Amino acid sequence: MYRLSTKRSVFIGLSLFIPVILLLCFVIYPALDLLRMSFYRWDGVSVEQTFIGLDNYVRLFKESPDLWLSLRNNLIYFVIHTLFIPLELMFAVMLTKKLRGSNIFKSLTFMPYIVNGVAIAYAFSYFYSPINGAFNNILTLLGLENWIRNWLSDPAIVNLTLASVSVWRYSGYHVVLFFAALQSIPNDILEAATIDGAGAWQQFWRIQLPSISLVIDFTLFQNVRGALQMFDIPFVMTSGGPGYASSTFTLFTLDTAFKFDSFGMASTMAIAIIVLIVLVTLVQNKVVAVARRKGGFS
């Protein structure tokens, strides 16, 4: 027994050795160095880095109006994705029914998620192009020419356009997550509920929803993280333009580092986004917990 337990420990240790080393080298150490750099002024090129204490953090809050404007754009992604979560849940519930074509629909829904994000953004930039763009051509074909807008250059709607691409990309992933979680609920519980006279809505609200609460929590966290870290779609499609109209927090952080040669401030922004994600997640968890208590299930 002792030899077996030792062998098991050795096996686990050896198996974890490389992943832990990689984690330390490529995640933990860079994160700590990021924190260190946030206390310095450095242009990314000079040999010297100058220690400035909390100066970057003070300037982050006092002197960066464009940064907080970018955060407003992140909020648009967050709100739109949140609004779509109930729809995604509904689709997942429908897929659990034995409907014709549900397998094909599942594959089609998930496919956008496995396609490279940059490729999707690039394709959609031509889809929404004002010159021979497919979307405008579709609207024209349907007799809806008066609906045509400057999808990628009108500051009033550019973020909605980009958010629509993000929803197209990530909805399928959420649907498949919810579907997998719903599939894990034992059938006999639902059958028993049916026998007891529970309708479809009651089964969903009282059995399915509480059973997949962990997956819902995970999806909500992914929603927060994804919205606050949104980068590839606005970067490829609009470069954050026109002006800063579609710039996101991460895009602005990158501009701060590479365009304005301020790696210290950019590190500070990166720390701020981590803190923001944690704070928003904590608030969200509190809100969801209260909603669950009021809904009568935990």
Partner 1 sequence: MKSKRKIAALVLCTALLTSALGGCGGTQQSSSSVDSTAGGASENTAQPAADGEKVTLHYLIFDSYQAKEFAEMDMVAQFEAAHPNITVEIEKAKDSAEMENSLKIRAASNQLPDLVGNKVYMLDRFKDYLVDLSDMELTGRCPAAANFAVDGKVLGIPDRELREFVFYWEDLFTQYGVSVPETWDEFIQTAQAIKEADPNMIPIALGAKDEWTTYPFMELMPTLVANDGFLWRSMGQKDTPFAEGEGINKSYHMYEDLVAAEVFGPDPMGIGYDQAMTLFSNKQAAMFVIAGWGMDTMRENDADLTTLKSFMLPVRESESDPFRIYGGCDNFMSIFNTSEHIEEAKIFMDWYYEYFFPDFIQKVDALSAISDVEKELHPVLQEALDSRPDAEVVMYDGGDDNFNNIMAETKFDYKKLGVEMLTPGFDLDKRLEELDSAWTKARSDLGIS
Residue 51 interacting with partner 1 (CB under 8 A): yes
Describe the crossing of helices 158-183 and 65-96 by its angle, rounded to 10 degrees.
40
Residue 39 interacting with partner 1 (CB under 8 A): yes
Using the minimum distance from each CB to partner 1, give the nearer residue, 199 or 243: 243
Residue 44 φ/ψ region, left for φ over 0, alpha for ψ in the -120 to 50 degree band, beta for the rest: left
Residue 17 interacting with partner 1 (CB under 8 A): no
Residue 35 interacting with partner 1 (CB under 8 A): yes
Closest CA to 49 of 221, 208, 267: 267
Segment near partner 1 (CB under 8 A), from 75-83, 123-131, 202-210, 269-277?
Answer: 123-131
Element containing residue 190 per DSSP (H, E) = helix 187-195
Identify the residue among 28, 118, 189, 278 touching partner 1 (CB under 8 A): 28
Segment near partner 1 (CB under 8 A), from 95-103, 110-118, 251-259, 281-289?
Answer: 251-259
Identify the residue among 57, 66, 139, 205 touching partner 1 (CB under 8 A): 66
Using the minimum distance from each CB to partner 1, give the nearer residue, 11 or 126: 126
| Binding-site string for partner 1 from residue 147 to residue 186, where x marks contact by CB under 8 A and - marks none | ---xxxx-x-------------------------------
Report in angstroms the alpha-carbon separations of 6 from 21, 67, 99, 138, 275. 22, 54, 51, 66, 40
Closest CA to 193 of 209, 180, 214: 209
Residue 102 interacting with partner 1 (CB under 8 A): no
Least distance (Å) between residue 270 CB and partner 1: 15
> Interior CA angle at 237 toward 236 and 240, to 5°?
85
CA-to-CA distance for 190 and 202, rounded, in angstroms?
10
CA-to-CA distance for 96 and 176, rounded, in angstroms?
11
Site for partner 1 in 183-242 (CB under 8 A): 238-239, 241-242
Residue 100 interacting with partner 1 (CB under 8 A): no
| Chain residues in the site for partner 1 (CB under 8 A) | 24, 28-29, 32-33, 35-36, 39-40, 42-51, 66, 128-131, 150-153, 155, 238-239, 241-245, 256, 258-262
